[in-house]
Structure 1
Amino acid sequence: MHANVAIVEDDRNIQNIVKAYLQKEGYDIIAMDNAEDAWEYWNSGKKPDMWILDIMLPGMDGYELCKKIRDTSDVPIIIISAKDEEIDKILGLELGGDDYLTKPFSPRELVARVKRLFKRVTVQRVPQGVKEERQLGDLIVKLDDRRIVWQGEEIEVTAKEFDMLSIFVQNQNRAFSREELLKKVWGEDYFGSDRAVDDLIKRLRKKLDGLPIETVWGYGYRMRSSSEDGS
């Protein structure tokens, strides 16, 4: 089965070149000119295995589309942009992008990044033969089939949310720095700000109200084995 890649790019020349190169590598491609069509496509239930988003789009921009997708899914996202300022890279990645490529770029470089990202995501998401679960108070993390049960109810979480919870529940009371969590959850080659960790913790606290994740001020986070929430 071929992986499906969705391209959102209003420059037809770039869109056609990227599409041709990725199709040559065996990927199935859906190409769109604007974020509105892409969002409608996503909401129709058709879920690509990866998104390639241009930032400067007519109407809704790529940042907003990235944020909307990331609010409901952990699907890999590569952002492409004519801007090369560091703040744009950080913003794009903190909103949920997994990689960033600046125009003009080599189509071969984009293909290489697509392959590398698919490989990294596969390694992160495939269970390593572990058949067990861990419990901390009202939280149960089923490591074998990557499911979360909170206060007796199964909760849907993204891949990164699951990875973060599994790290904490297997290392109860241990404090992790933001840098450690970035490497463990996002991978060694992630170059965005550690604010991505704070954003993920914030989402987990909202989704699992009462989760005993404690902020270690000026350092990072830990999960207490007691029922007290020191955050």
Structure 2
Amino acid sequence: MTNILMIEDDPDFSIFLGEYLERYNIKITNFEDPFLGLSANISSYDLLILDLTLPGMDGLEVCKEVADNYDIPIIISSARSDVTDKIMGLQIGADYYLPKPYDPKEMYAVIQSLLRRKKKSNKLQEQRDSIFDFDKRTNSIYFNKEQLALTQAEYEVLICLLENKNAIVSREQIVNNSESLSDSYSKSLDVIIGRLRTKLNDNSKNPKYLHSIRGLGYKISQ
């Protein structure tokens, strides 16, 4: 379920939107008081929907506070039509400005778009932080930011494992994805695995990266 924090001083509107989004497995938790909203464990939510006209604190202040301290998409949902508010909101950290009134279908589409973007961004960050990286366009594999010198067979075996990182890959699957190999029972795969361990400086008795799973296949991890 997607959990959304909403800071909106119109309870009827928050209930209306919440009932619509619930059919898409999206739960809204609304706070009419912005101070309560800011103390609501924001990092546990997937996204924030924020009104601008709030009691005791302007929504733009709330937006800046959240953007400065949390990694969460922010949608400003406001009846304030001043273009200055829109520009200011986007400049201080909002990801989208949706003027009221709007069809809840539009809000749903915006939510989906922002969550997809965040998921893609997180995935790219994971790849950047990874010990392994690869570029299939140039048949290149990098280990600790340095390109590995690999034979074609070594590349085919390693890329198959990397594309299934942290999962056990059977000998048959590796062979089927490697044009240089033809028999899953052949010792040639074991020889290649041994050469890869050498190039990764990985101890076969206590491997850190390339693991042999008895009777099942191989797994690469980091």
Q: 1:61 aligns with which of 58, 61, 65?
A: 58
The answer (yes or no) to whether the contact 1:11–1:33 under 8 Å persists in 2 is yes
Q: Say how many residue pairs are matched.
A: 131
Query: Which residue number in structure 2 is paired with residue 100 of structure 1?
Result: 97
Q: Distance in 2 between matches of 1:59 and 1:129?
A: 40
TM-score, normalised by the number of residues in structure 2 = 0.55
Partner AA of 1:49 in structure 2: D
The alpha-carbon distance between structure 1 residues 83 and 48, as it changes in their structure 2 partners (threshold 3 A), is same
The alpha-carbon distance between structure 1 residues 22 and 129, as it changes in their structure 2 partners (threshold 3 A), is same
The answer (yes or no) to whether the contact 1:54–1:80 under 8 Å persists in 2 is yes
Query: Which residue number in structure 2 is paired with residue 125 of structure 1?
Result: 122
Q: Distance in 1 between matches of 2:60 and 2:36?
A: 15
The alpha-carbon distance between structure 1 residues 127 and 104, as it changes in their structure 2 partners (threshold 3 A), is same
Over the aligned positions, Cα root-mean-square deviation in angstroms equals: 2.0
Q: Distance in 1 between matches of 2:46 and 2:130?
A: 20
Q: 2:47 aligns with which of 36, 40, 50?
A: 50
| Cα distance, 1:4 vs structure 2 | 1.0
The alpha-carbon distance between structure 1 residues 144 and 32, as it changes in their structure 2 partners (threshold 3 A), is same
User: Secondary structure at the residue paired with 1:60?
Assistant: coil
The answer (yes or no) to whether the contact 1:78–1:99 under 8 Å persists in 2 is yes
| Cα distance, 1:65 vs structure 2 | 1.0
Q: Distance in 2 between matches of 1:145 and 1:35?
A: 39
- 1:32 maps onto 2:31 in alignment: yes
Q: Distance in 2 between matches of 1:51 and 1:57?
A: 15
The answer (yes or no) to whether the contact 2:43–2:71 under 8 Å persists in 1 is no
Structure 1 or 2, whichever has the larger Rg, is 2
User: Secondary structure at the residue paired with 1:89?
Assistant: helix
Q: Distance in 1 between matches of 2:52 and 2:14?
A: 13
Q: Distance in 1 between matches of 2:4 and 2:33?
A: 15
TM-score, normalised by the number of residues in structure 1 = 0.53
| Cα distance, 1:10 vs structure 2 | 0.7
Partner AA of 1:61 in structure 2: D
Query: Which residue number in structure 1 is paired with residue 156 of structure 2?
Result: none
List 4+ stretches of structure 1 deviating above 3 A: none
- 1:22 maps onto 2:7 in alignment: no
Gaps of 5+ in 1: 131-142, 147-231
Query: Which residue number in structure 2 is paired with residue 13 of structure 1?
Result: 12
Q: Distance in 1 between matches of 2:43 and 2:106?
A: 27
Q: 1:75 aligns with which of 68, 72, 77?
A: 72
Gaps of 5+ in 2: 132-222
The answer (yes or no) to whether the contact 1:127–1:145 under 8 Å persists in 2 is no
| Cα distance, 1:124 vs structure 2 | 1.7
| Cα distance, 1:86 vs structure 2 | 1.8
- 1:144 maps onto 2:143 in alignment: no
Q: Distance in 2 between matches of 1:72 and 1:145?
A: 25
Equivalent pairs: percent with the same residue? 35
